[in-house]
Chains A and B, each alone.
Chain A
Amino acid sequence: MTTADHNTRRARDLLAMMERIRAFEEQACLAAERDKLVLGAIHPSIGQEAVAVGVMCNFNRDDILLSTHRGHGHTLAKGADPLAMMRELLGREGGCCGGKGGSMHIADFGVGMLGANGVVGANITIAAGAAHGLKLQGSDRIVVDIFGDGAINRGPFLEGVNWASVFDLPILFVCEDNQYSATTKTSTVTGGPGAAARAESLGLRATTVDGNDAEAVADVTAEITARIRAGGGPEMLHAITYRRTGHTSFDPAGYRPEGESEREAETNDPIARQRAVLAGMGLSTDELDAIHAAAQSEMVQVLADAAATPFPADEMALQDVQDIGSPAQEAY
């Protein structure tokens, strides 16, 4: 295979995965708003898909991922089954967490995805610990932890990044900077120059990348992961992107400057940009549209299948709490 073939294939894979993530989240939003099937909150990553695919294409199935409450894209890109994920969003049997976690607590240990987290920044120390455990075991697996720009203002960022630094752990921290901390513009509540500078101050090499350029994210992550796999220690990737939706699917985001999201959609959509890359490599519009259509039909079916799945058995409410003193035996 020539380098050009390889590049085209990767570019195509990146687009296909972004289309699948977008289609999954569009269906999830419809399930929430149109169908009233998602009873809790979901936090879409629409517009941020290039970070998920560009980072994750450099990680193996048995490498470890920890993610955020806005983590559908990361999880799909790590290889999780979309039907199990959609069932989880709908709280159904056969969800990847048996319907007990929902969108904010998706985990799929079978693909090395050790959990999204409902607490901002909480996974930073846990991910550092996963890397610590792998290092103790002499494993050659590595860890990636993705968190948002809001997380760098929480204590676990300092404690977890410092921990990775002093123990020289095999971990990539990715700050997926969508510019909003819930409903607040992050720059208005963040002192100093931000994520990369903070990581550098703790001894990490930090790289900043256009997080809506899937090719650039994939390229720079390939270089970083090669260094980490070679024992180079922890690094930080600051990927600058934009959150096109509100904080949750139900948030109209009226706090944003008028036209900001629309402008991003028109000029900086990661899928449109990747289509342009592939067009430049010679793919036809029909070929690109076929990738889009395949993702759409896959996820329409996923939602239909998930909606046809029953809720979990009632007794699951008392299962998987603990072995000793389990509520299944002793609830009071």
Chain B
Amino acid sequence: MVKMTFVEASREALREMMHEDETVWCVGEDLGRGSVFGQYLGLQDEFGPDRVADTPISEAAIMGAAFGAAMVGTRPVVEMRFSDFALCATDELVNQIAKARFMFGGQSRAPMVIRKPIGLWRSSAAQHSQSLESWYVHIPGLVVLCPATPQDNYSMMKAAIRCDDPVVYLEHKNIWGMEGEVDTSLDIELGKAAVRRQGADVTLVSWSDTANLCVQAAETLAGEGVDAEVIDLRSLWPWDKEAVVSSVRKTGRLVVAHESVAVGGFGAEVVATVVEQAGDALRGPVRRLGAPRSLVAYAPNLEDKMRVTEQMIVTAAKETMGK
């Protein structure tokens, strides 16, 4: 086990994969200086400017060119800086990358990892704070990952680079400095959830940094006599329905929490699936937590109005139990 921060974990995984597979290369803005959050620090010195390529501020070209390079046999890791900027490359991701294999009758593959840092991050306002994971889940052809711990950011980055499908890789900006023990020999199968805490009374389902909040909330709940199980989905497509359904069959109660806007969010998909597959097991009202359908403001008090808090999760869990 090695102690790493969240940002060090994916950087080390990337570094190891670049050593293991010479077709892996990184492409994006400012990578030679480490990019915005230091995700690439030192890699250009180690691997040179061809394999850690600094690009113009051309999101569409970064995404499109990486796709073209993937079709001729390389494995690009694409950096979008902020998930918000990736919207400039929506045609490339949605109309081209996600569809090519199908449209061309299976002739092509797009083995790419598309990194899009998401989430609320100290007064970054409406164009640097979004979490749009549910959009990507809606696009057939894409794999969608949301790691929440250093271990997962290490193991899932490696799995994402090895994957032959295009992977949208969503790292939360608020946890780059989060420390944790990492077992570098641990492989994670994409699509499998992590049970972050076992419990008998209520199932808390989440992903990304909100999953960390759920772990904290579960500890608080334990102090109040509620034994919560925390499922960190980690992967939103494919997602581990079996883990969620079997947990709800055990607890009979469900809270889904995510940072993104609640309306049309992936939480709705989780709730709908549980109702379809384990509706008979539910013993209390379901609760779904997410942001109001409003925008992220700059002022801290207004920004906080968009947050799901630990207290909200605790309250929701008790409500499912009629407390």
Contacts and interface: CB of A to CB of B under 8 A. Distances in A.
Contact of A137 (B70, B74, B163): B74
A136 interface: yes
B71 A322 contact: no
Q: Which of B50, B70, B96, B163 gathers the greatest number of chain A CB atoms within 10 Å?
A: B96
A130 interface: yes
Interface in A73-112: 95-101, 105, 107-109
B68 A129 contact: yes
Nearest to B74: A133
Contacts of B56: 159, 162-163, 166
A325 interface: yes
A262 interface: no
B180 interface: no
Interface stretch (B100-108, B199-207, B249-257): B100-108
Contact of B65 (A115, A126, A137, A320): A126
A142 B108 CA distance: 19
A189 to B, nearest CB: 20
B68 A126 contact: yes
Interface size class, chain A: 35 or more
B58 A133 contact: no
Contacts of B238: 324-325, 330
Nearest to B236: A325
A79 to B, nearest CB: 15
Contact of A323 (B55, B70, B103, B165): B165
B95 A159 contact: no
Nearest to A162: B56
A136 B104 contact: no
A99 B104 CA distance: 9
B30 to A, nearest CB: 15
B50 A136 contact: yes
A159 B61 contact: yes
B214 interface: no
B142 interface: yes
B105 A100 contact: yes
A53 to B, nearest CB: 24
A122 B95 contact: yes
A272 interface: no
A160 interface: yes
Interface string B65-92: 1111111111000000000000000011
A327 B68 CA distance: 25
B140 interface: yes
Interface in A25-84: 64, 66
B90 to A, nearest CB: 11
A133 B64 CA distance: 12
Interface residues of B, number: 46
Contacts, number: 153
B105 A96 contact: yes
Contacts of A134: 72
B67 A129 contact: yes
Contacts of A167: 53
A325 B191 contact: yes
Contacts of B104: 97, 100-101, 105, 107, 109, 115
A97 B104 CA distance: 5
A304 interface: no
A126 B96 contact: yes
B281 interface: no
B14 to A, nearest CB: 17
Given A130-B69, A322-B140, 19 more contacts: A101-B104, A114-B108, A122-B96, A125-B65, A125-B67, A125-B92, A126-B71, A129-B70, A132-B68, A133-B72, A137-B72, A156-B61, A162-B56, A162-B58, A163-B58, A163-B61, A166-B56, A324-B190, A325-B237
25 contacts: A97-B104, A107-B108, A119-B95, A122-B64, A125-B63, A125-B65, A125-B67, A126-B68, A126-B92, A129-B65, A130-B71, A132-B69, A133-B72, A155-B60, A159-B61, A160-B61, A162-B56, A162-B61, A163-B55, A321-B141, A322-B165, A323-B163, A323-B164, A325-B143, A327-B140
Interface of B: 23, 25, 50-51, 53, 55-56, 58, 60-61, 63-74, 91-92, 95-96, 100-108, 140-143, 163-165, 190-191, 237-238
Interface of A: 64, 66, 95-101, 105, 107-109, 114-115, 117-119, 122, 124-134, 136-137, 155-156, 159-160, 162-163, 166-167, 319-325, 327, 330
